[in-house]
Structure 1
Amino acid sequence: MYALAFARMADSIGNSFLIIVLPLYIGSGVITGQTFGLGTALITGIILSAFGFLSTILQPIAGQLSDRSGKRRIFIIVGLAILAVANFVYSLAGSYTSMLLIRGLQGIGVALTIPSTVALVNELATSASRGGDMGVFNTFRFVGFGAGPILAGTVINGGPYSLLGLSITGFEAAFYIAAISAMVGAILVLVLVEDPAQEELDAEASDEIGFAIFDHDHDSLIDPVLALGIALLFVAMGIALLEPLQTQINEHLGQGATLFGIEFSVFIVAQVFLQAPIGVASDKYGRKPFIVGGLAILVPATLAQGLVTTPLAMIATRLVQGAAAATAFAPGFALAGDLADSGNSGTTFSVLTMAFTLGTAIGPLIAGYLVSFGYVVPFAFGAVLAALGALLVYSQVEETLTGSQETTGGPQPAGQD
């Protein structure tokens, strides 16, 4: 499990590198050629968003295929290898068309990797430890996500470099580091991770690609995993609202890029410190109270970001928002793991990972549109989404840890007590 967490951290460092690098690289004048009749800004936005939308479409397919094969590890390794190749060939791209194709290749790599990784973590956990394991896994992911942009800015500004007598630009160095990060993740999984034995899996994978919509086993209207996925979609959209509003926020608060960077980062800091202990607590006290409570706290925390008038207040609201999201994340994934048959873990978790990826892709687009109606409007919209998510989980999701903590869940790895 720790090897998977380290691999996910290495991969996240490389992917988050590109959050900073790609817009600067596209705007540097290196990329030229046909724009398909679109403006430069629009084609740049399409390139950046192609990754998220393609990954969203493919994740359920990849998750279901990993269920049918019972081989999670090979999907993770192949996905990370694809990411390594894609990250490297960015350094060779010179046209908008090639950038779009490479970004799509990245989306394929992520789609292969993420559902299988979370499913494997689930299968290596027990119901008594699943919340803590998911918390540790997410902690390492957020460490990588937070470290990547900081390292990227340093690498770009420090270029050019001399490597083996060759001069490389800061952009090339950043792409190489991102490629190496993905390859390190693949090597860690190859050397240190094994799939659970087939006889330990307690269910056969479905032959159909998809997920349940209605719940036929309980009193709720829709399937609880789908309800969790929709709630996570709302959370991701609310979190991603901040990214495209940097200019408006800086003007409103009278601040510069440095303070905005701090405001962006404190959310991740809260995730790093709180995911694991909250996950452990959910193993003891139950999943649902943490999920609903976290979503409920997100409502005022998100709205407050549109109402505060000082950088210090914005930092405080972002910290609270990060704590609230951490309260929902690890227990939410653990609850889905409790509900999943191990043979269908990939399909089950693809609902959650797809929802989060889609939310981070469409959140910035919605924020950019809504801010034209007023500065506070995007944040109010995010608060409404969080409230709907809390209501959805409260009404449609049942607690899985009732009585004994040993509920249905992933099998114990061979040889582990």
Structure 2
Amino acid sequence: MFSVDRRVLALAIARMADSAGNSFLIIVLPLYITSGVITGNSFGLTATAITGIVLSLFGFLNSFTQPFAGYLSDKSERRKVFILLGLGILAVTNFSFSLASSYPALVAIRAVQGIGVAFTIPCTIALVNDLASDENRGGNMGVFNTFRLLGFGAGPIAAGALVHNGPYTVAGIHMTGFESAFYIASLGALISFALVTLLVSDPEQADAEAADDFSITILGSRGGLDPIFTLALASLFMAISIALISTLETTINRRLGQNELWFGIEFAAFVLAQVALQTPIGRATDRYGRKQFIVAGLVLLIPATVVQGFVGTPVEMLIARLVQGVAGALVFAPALALAGDIARKGQSGTQLSLLTMAFGLGTAIGPLSSGFLVKFGFQVPFEVGGVLAALGAALVYTQVEETVTKPPDARPTPQD
């Protein structure tokens, strides 16, 4: 029978709150930078270049810090304190954006935020893994990711409305649309902080063997690639493929004869498919195995990505993004669950952080690569994304072994 640990559910709701608040910034920061509020020395760069630096800086610092954060949580055998540290930094930096008036201050705040959030992500995933069992790990990962994506999808919509409808006066306090968005983003982190403080506790660590040195295992014990490293590569390739359209909004709108609303719907379609399917797919992997879902998702990702370079109408792009969302749902939660099955006790923070780091890097590399590759033709970024998805499928198929050998509720038959 499928069940979710109360602490996992609390972590999921907390992650939804801080994801909503943090995803506000995807919409708000580019508008804030070009609004005229930020002044001073821009180091000779345009506002567009500064925007790119601010957005990418978070992704890269966040991704590269995650393995260290996971390692520290393994060594201390404590997850909760690091999660709270990251949420506290997120709350303070979200509020600090409302006080920033120069480009250097904005860049510094975003850099601190990227490092701070790096403590929350791998430690939360590791704690979900610690609290789950082999029989329900896929379902728990699915529930966690469903709530996270709900927050991530709702945040930009709410942020756009807040900025557009501002300014506001609340309890006699006047605030602009930008300030209100930063305050609500900070509030989301504080709500998460309170939920984790009150409802989450670290599990008892029995015979945990944390690694004495920080290292990433690339080669497996039997030759070939390490399975967790392979799953991280597959997550990287998937994230690059799904993020390709981010930089191409203007080109896609012109090519398909659509407006910004259509692009927003197409962009959100991926998230909606993920929200609908993460939990049932995660539960299915507990019963039927994980590897086959991951391989199927990566195979499905190939046509779903390539076709985006050839579609001719908004509806066709919408369908392609929905299928891409299905593919992503088949990969992400099952990959985390499979890696959790393999991870050595006391080292799940370090090892699972490889997957979260890879996904974060992919979402940063995808937009950068599509902006470069589109010069060679509109179809080229999506064709490259398809090749990466195929490579990921081949790697998982050949380098990763199944961890679920039999349905957890299976009963012996007379033939057994």
TM-score, with normalisation over the residues of structure 1?
0.95
**What per-residue deviation string (whole Å, max 9, x for no partner) do you get for residues 228-253 of structure 1?**
00110000011111111000100110
Partner residue of 2:95 out of 73, 79, 88: 88
Runs of 4+ in 1 over 6 A off after TM superposition: none
* Deviation at residue 302 of structure 1 after TM alignment: 0.3
* Deviation at residue 342 of structure 1 after TM alignment: 3.0
Determine whether 1:30 maps to 2:37. yes
* Deviation at residue 405 of structure 1 after TM alignment: 4.6
Alignment of 1:374-393 (within 5 A): 374-393=377-396
**What per-residue deviation string (whole Å, max 9, x for no partner) do you get for residues 172-226 of structure 1?**
0000000000111111000000000123xx431112122211111x3x5011000
Q: Structure 1: which 5+ residue stretches go unaligned?
A: 407-417
Determine whether 1:301 maps to 2:304. yes
Q: Which residue pairs with 1:167 in the alignment?
A: 174
Q: Which residue pairs with 1:413 in the alignment?
A: none
Determine whether 1:211 maps to 2:216. yes
Partner residue of 1:195 out of 202, 208, 212: 202
**Equivalent residues of 2:288, 2:407 under 8 A apart:** no
Q: Which residue pairs with 1:271 in the alignment?
A: 274
Give me the whole-angstrom Cα distance separating, in 2, the residues matched to 1:263 and 1:43: 26
* Deviation at residue 38 of structure 1 after TM alignment: 2.8
How many percent identity over aligned positions?
Answer: 60
Q: Which residue pairs with 2:295 in the alignment?
A: 292
Q: Which amino acid aligns with 1:213?
A: I
SS of match in other structure, 2:347: helix
Q: How many residues align?
A: 402
Q: Which residue pairs with 1:322 in the alignment?
A: 325
Q: Structure 2: which 5+ residue stretches go unaligned?
A: 1-7, 410-416
Determine whether 1:256 maps to 2:263. no
Q: Which amino acid aligns with 1:92?
A: L
**Equivalent residues of 2:286, 2:407 under 8 A apart:** no
* Deviation at residue 404 of structure 1 after TM alignment: 6.5
Partner residue of 1:57 out of 57, 64, 71: 64
SS of match in other structure, 2:59: helix
Q: Which residue pairs with 1:154 in the alignment?
A: 161
**Equivalent residues of 2:18, 2:188 under 8 A apart:** yes
Give me the whole-angstrom Cα distance separating, in 2, the residues matched to 1:19 and 1:89: 16
Determine whether 1:43 maps to 2:46. no
Alignment of 1:340-351 (within 5 A): 340-351=343-354
Q: Which residue pairs with 2:232 in the alignment?
A: 229
**What per-residue deviation string (whole Å, max 9, x for no partner) do you get for residues 344-385 of structure 1?**
110011100000011111110001111111111111111111
RMSD of Structure 2 on Structure 1 (CA):
1.1
Q: Which moved more, 1:394-403 or 1:268-277?
A: 394-403
Determine whether 1:358 maps to 2:361. yes
Partner residue of 2:243 out of 240, 245, 248: 240
**What per-residue deviation string (whole Å, max 9, x for no partner) do you get for residues 65-89 of structure 1?**
0000011000001100100000000
SS of match in other structure, 1:204: coil
Q: Which amino acid aligns with 1:323?
A: V
**What per-residue deviation string (whole Å, max 9, x for no partner) do you get for residues 313-363 of structure 1?**
111111000001101111110000000123111001110000001111111
TM-score, with normalisation over the residues of structure 2?
0.95
SS of match in other structure, 2:346: helix
**What per-residue deviation string (whole Å, max 9, x for no partner) do you get for residues 281-321 of structure 1?**
00011000000000000000000111110111111111000
**Equivalent residues of 2:288, 2:406 under 8 A apart:** no
Partner residue of 1:311 out of 311, 314, 328: 314
Q: Which amino acid aligns with 1:151?
A: A
Q: Which amino acid aligns with 1:211?
A: I
**What per-residue deviation string (whole Å, max 9, x for no partner) do you get for residues 386-412 of structure 1?**
011101101111111124759xxxxxx
**Equivalent residues of 1:16, 1:149 under 8 A apart:** yes
**Equivalent residues of 1:60, 1:210 under 8 A apart:** no
Give me the whole-angstrom Cα distance separating, in 1, the residues matched to 2:116 and 2:397: 35
Q: Which amino acid aligns with 1:209?
A: F
SS of match in other structure, 1:162: strand
